[in-house]
Structure formats: structure tokens, C-alpha cells
Amino acid sequence: MIFLRSGGTGSGRTLHRDLGFWATAALSIGGMAPTLAMSVTGVQVVRLLGRAAPLAYLLAGGAMLLIGYGFVRLSAAFSHAGSVYAFVGKTLGPGAGFLATWMLLGTYIVFPPVSVLGMAAFTQAFLRHTGIAASADWLPLALISWLLVWLLVARGIRLTARSVIAVEAVSLLLITALIVVIYVRLGTGHAPGRQTLTADVLRLPPGTGAATVGLACTFGILAFGGFESSISAGEEARRPTQAIPRSVIAAVLFGAVFYAFCVSGQVLGFGTSHAGTAAFAHSTAPLGDLALVYVGPAMAVLLDAAAVLSALGAALVGVAVASRTLYALARDRILWTSLAAVSPRTGTPGGAVAASMTLTLTLLLAFGLAGTAALDAFFYLATIGALCLLVVYVLVSVSALRLLARDRRPLRGVIKPSVIKPSVIKPRVTVPSAILPIGGAAAALYVLYRNLIPAPAFPYDLFPYLVAGWLVLGLTVAAAVPQLRKRVSEGLALR
């Protein structure tokens, strides 16, 4: 049993507080991996909505603004390496805090291998487009990528943030350049086929129901997954209650604009006809395919490299935030206390990083040895992670509502009145302020519902039940370990 290990309280195991706003913003934007998201998620959305794929991202952006409010409100009140562990634990109680962290761990177990799979898949495309190798096996590429991620993330979160800034800046410039070229060629009548600029990208094909739109929004929300990554830097940001809320807002707003712009460009680039959307839906590298047609082979190769870099940035962020969550749990003696060991030189929780990388390796080997295609494994794990995140989003939205309504009295002894800033608890909840967290919870619950009813195609119909099983297991652990709530409460009260 890994829970409630005896040992010290983790005193002296301190993270280094040296991140500014741009570093925390890089964690949130890099966690979303916008270039990687635009390289792969559009295919699944087009299969569901056809030409109207941009609508899924616009709706997802609206939902994420509502959901993001909860993270903004809570991160302005609390700064903690455990992120939702503290946010939910200090507002809804220690049991809810543990459950929120349990579901977040469900995401953090799968998101790093998702990013490594993305690195492998687009390295395959790079090798294919350059003529180096027509059919390279993805598993060796993934293992090399996995080792690179570990080497970089072990050197500290400051290097991680700088690396993410660099790789995403290059990647975003390349993809933006391609989409601008597509718009210009369409607008001037120099498209390679019969494609034209049209508003059809905002009109649903006849017969498209709400269930299909809701399922498509899951993949839209998946593209935003990771926007909350900066909240795990609550003990490493220099001014966390200012920098982190701003980072969350910046990531969501950037994603909403960038995704709508890019997906619209891709749909228009392939064409809004049935043949065009079919070509998009069956593309394994849509940006590379568009680059070949609209610019040339060199651009396709550059975009493959950009997608690899974006996936690398996402993997670095994924492991960094996963390890901080494990570190926070270990420090409070919920997990092995060895996971709370911090390198005095880099400020990295080395044991927690090793645990995250070991889980990543296990999943990579499982899919690789089973013969699963890299992109199929990517979407399987990404969907599971997104569903776990939706549960977390519900809990965070409810926590934000509770924070708005709470008065100065301590919550069940978990925190002291002095922990909550007066500016946070005044005024009490009002109808306009309550709409945002309620809307966030409703949006997340609706997407969860639409992943159940009607059931999506196999194997995606199994994933909601897998996530439900993980949720039940977390509830069982909380009920079966009597001292868990006490240790969560004690740990949060100390910090």
C-alpha cells in the first residue's frame, strides 16, 4: 500500500521560488501544446462535425473561460505545489481535496506518455517527408524521446519553462505562417483546387445532433488540456497569487483565438466539400499535407519538426506538474515520503520525477508491444486524461463557488482565518459572480454526459467507464484509509 507512509513531514524539502510571469505563462501555454493540438485533434473533430469543426473549438473555448474562472479565483487565494489538492481541500474539505488530486493524477499519469507519443508520431512523419525512413517503428523513437524528456526535466523547472518558451515560439510562428499563406491564397483566388473563403465553417452539416457536437467538444477541450499547468508552480513562482491567475487567463484566451484561427484555416485549406473534409479526416499529418500543397516540401518538414518540439514542450510540462503533485502528496505523508526529496541544486523533486517517468515508460511499452499505432494510442490516452480532467473541472468550479460564499470562519479546522485574504472573501457570493463557476461545472458535466449517452464508437465507449472505475477506486481509498483525511487536513493546515 503506497498510502499513508510513515516518516517526516518533509521539512527542509523545499522547492526553489524563482519563476516569473512569463515562465508560469509558458507552463500553461506549453502544457496545452497548441502546435501539437492543431496537428492532431482537428482530425477527430472533422470526423464528427465535418466542415463545422471550428465550432467545437469555439464552444470549447467558451466552456474553458467558465472553467478557467474557478482556477483563477482559487489560485489568487492559495499557492500550493499540489494545486487542486489544496484548492479543493481548503474549500470543500480534505476528502474532496484528495479525490480531486486522485482524478488529476489520472490525467497526469497519461498526459506525459501522450506527449511522448506525439513526439514519436511526428518524428515518423519527419523521417518520411525527408526520405530518411519511410516506415520507422514508433517505439524506439518514443524511447529516445522519453530519455530526452527525463534529462531535461531533471535539470529544474526553470530550464523546463525556458525550453517550453523556445520550442513553442518557433512552432507557433511556423504554423501561423502556414495558415496565413492558406488564407491569402484562398482570398486571392490562388488556391490549388476549388477551395474558397466561406462561412460554411460555422454551419453544422444537416443532421448533426447535440450529442455529436458534445462529443466533438471533448476533443476541443482536449486541445485546452494543460492550461491549468501553471497552478502546480504555486511554490516556485515569485508572486504566485498574481502570476498564476494571469497565466491561466492568458492561456485560455490565447487558445480560444489561436485554435479557431488555425482549424478554420485547415478546413478551408482542404475545402468545405465532402471530398475536402474526407481528406482532412483521413490525414495523419494535416498540417504537413497542407504545407506540401500550399507552400512546398520544405515547409512540411519544418512543421513536422515544429510538432515534435511542441510535443517535447508538453511532455516537459506534463512531467513537471505531475511530479509536483506527487511531491505534495508525499510531503504530507499520503505517498512514500521519498517522493518528496528535492535536489538542493536544481530544486527538482527527483523521486517524483522518476515515478512519473516510470509510469510513462510502462504505458509506452504496453502500447508498443501490443502493436498499437502511435496516433491511436495518443487519442486513447488523451481521451482518458481529458475525461479525468473534466471531473477535476467540476470539483474546481464547485470549490470556487464555495470560496465566494464562505465567511471568515475556519473550514473544519483545515485552515486558519488568516490564511484567506479579506479581498478574496469580500464580498460574499452574488448572482453574477456565481454564474461563472456554475456555468463551468455545467459545461464539464454536459461533456461528460455526452461521452456516455449515446455511447461513442469502440473503444471510446469504454473510456468513461474506465474513468468511473478510477473515481470509484479513489473513493474507496478515501473510505478505507481512516487517517487519510487527517493527514490531508494537517498537511494543508501547515501550508
- What would the pLDDT profile of 105-114 be if each residue is shown by its tens digit? 999 999 999 9
Q: Specify which of 256-260, 449-453, 485-489 reaches the highest per-range mean pLDDT.
A: 256-260
Query: Can you say whether the dihedral through the CA atoms of 341, 346, 348, 354 is positive or negative?
Result: negative
The average confidence (pLDDT) of the chain is: 84
Q: Which residue has the higher pLDDT, 61 or 495?
A: 61
Buried b (16+ CB within 10 A) or exposed e, 339-359: bbbbeeebbbbbbbbbbbbeb
Check whether 181 has a pLDDT greater than 50. yes
> 41 or 371: whose pLDDT is higher?
371
Share of the chain above pLDDT 70, in %: 91
Q: DSSP string of 107-130? A: HHHHHHHHHHHHHHHHHHHHHHHH
pLDDT value of position 12: 43
pLDDT at 425: 39
Tell me what pLDDT residue 203 has. Answer: 87
Using alpha carbons, select from 311, 325, 320 the residue that is nearest to residue 388: 325
Q: Specify the pTM.
A: 0.83
- The tens digit of pLDDT for each residue in 424-476 reads 434 454 555 778 899 989 988 988 887 788 788 888 889 999 999 999 999 99
pLDDT of residue 7: 43
Average pLDDT over residues 239-267: 92
Cell numbers given for 138: 514508433
Check whether 335 has a pLDDT greater than 60.
Answer: yes
**Which is more confidently placed, 6 or 262?**
262
19 has which bridge partners?
Answer: 237
CATH no., domain 21-490: 1.20.1740.10
**pLDDT tens, position by position, 61-89:** 998 999 999 999 999 888 877 778 888 88
Check residue 422 and give its pLDDT.
Answer: 39
Q: What is the pLDDT of residues 379-411, one digit of tens each?
A: 899 889 989 989 999 999 999 988 888 744 343
Let me know how many helices (H) and strands (E) the chain has, helices first.
Answer: 18, 0
**Top-confidence range, 88-97, 249-258, 324-333, 405-414:** 249-258
Lowest mean pLDDT across 71-80, 143-152, 372-381: 71-80
Q: What one-character-per-residue DSSP string does 196-254 give?
A: ---GGGGSPPTT--HHHHHHHHHHHHHHHTTTTGGGGGTTTBSSHHHHHHHHHHHHHHH
Provide the residue type at 240 as one letter. Answer: P
Q: Between 199 and 357, whose confidence is greater?
A: 357
pLDDT in tens, 282-326: 887 788 889 989 998 899 888 888 888 888 888 988 898 888 889
Extended strands (E) in 21-151: none
pLDDT for the residue numbered 495: 66
**What pLDDT does residue 407 have?**
46
At residue 290, the pLDDT reads 92
DSSP, collapsed to helix, strand or coil, labels residue 19 as strand
Query: Which residues, in sequence order, are CB contacts of 333 under 8 Å at separation 6+?
Result: 4, 5, 6, 7, 9, 10, 487, 491
